[in-house]
Structure 1
Amino acid sequence: MSGWLAGKTARLIGTHRAIETELRAAGAVLVADGDCDIIVHVAAPPPHVPAHQQSHEEWRRVLAQGLDERFFAAQAFAAACRERQATGAVLFVGAPEQALGTDQAAAAGALVNLTKTLGVEWARDGIRVNSILTHRQDAVVGRLAAYLVSDYAAYVTGAIMGVDTDD
């Protein structure tokens, strides 16, 4: 896997140590801001609140973190790629739809549709969009992430990859 991402810059939004490790191992240079070739958005799972106890503010916060923030980060990235006439890769990483709570399920379900739609819409611009739905924090997820943003996956867009939470 070494060198898959040589010469590429990547921005990791959120925290996932295995993804960070595998991106670096594949040769990517991680940047905090500015132009880059890849963005990986990792949403931390919010605390579980049963549906019957959930306030409007809690519902909106989870949708904002699980969907809105991701869309606007991807939108800004795609605009920058188009302006530079460059290709790019977007990867969303987060909890599966069957995670915890109706709010997380709604955000994850919408993210699946967003990924598919952006994958088709932005393909003509050479911008790929994929998702990994998992709770895992291990090297399996890190390697899958590095693959999905690499040129080896140049024809993969709009894909939703579920990684089982069982060890």
Structure 2
Amino acid sequence: MTEMLYRDAIPADAPAIRALFAASFTATFGHLYAPADLAAFLDPMTIQAWQAEIADPAYAFHLAEADGTLVGFIKLGPASFAVERRGPAIELRQFYVDAAYHGRGIAPAMMDWALATARDRGATEMFLSVYVDNARARRFYQRYGFERIGRYTFMVGDHADEDDIMRRTL
């Protein structure tokens, strides 16, 4: 079994993050969208945009690598949902693991990092959104104590998806 390396991202990681994000999103959800909508969603996520977020202290990225290849990443950022907050909050903005590496313990390791990082940053709750039909992700988040608190319209181009907003007290 390949040994995993976990580390924080640096701006030079942006091309690999962009590639993994586009490939994972398209493999998981691409069939839901017209090509123009998918392109309108992915195209603004340039290498420069990823680099800017990696360099921004309001965000935190953590990577999983196997033999020097990026196989997963998780991104935390400022809470953005229009929901009632009970205290300082953070949002799990993106979380992707290459499908070939599912079931190898990467997701739990990354989630443990995210929860610890959120606490270290003073957050008392974490929010995320998950596509309503993504049962695998929903089960994973529920195992970590996230509860559904509302709905969110997630736009992919001109296509509106229905996501659940989930919250976990830290």
Pick the TM interval, shorter chain: 0.3 to 0.5
User: Between Structure 1 and Structure 2, which shows a larger proportion of strand residues?
Assistant: 2
Tell me the TM-score normalized by structure 2.
0.32
Could you say which structure has the greater relative contact order, defined with CA pairs below 8 angstroms and 6 or more residues apart? 1
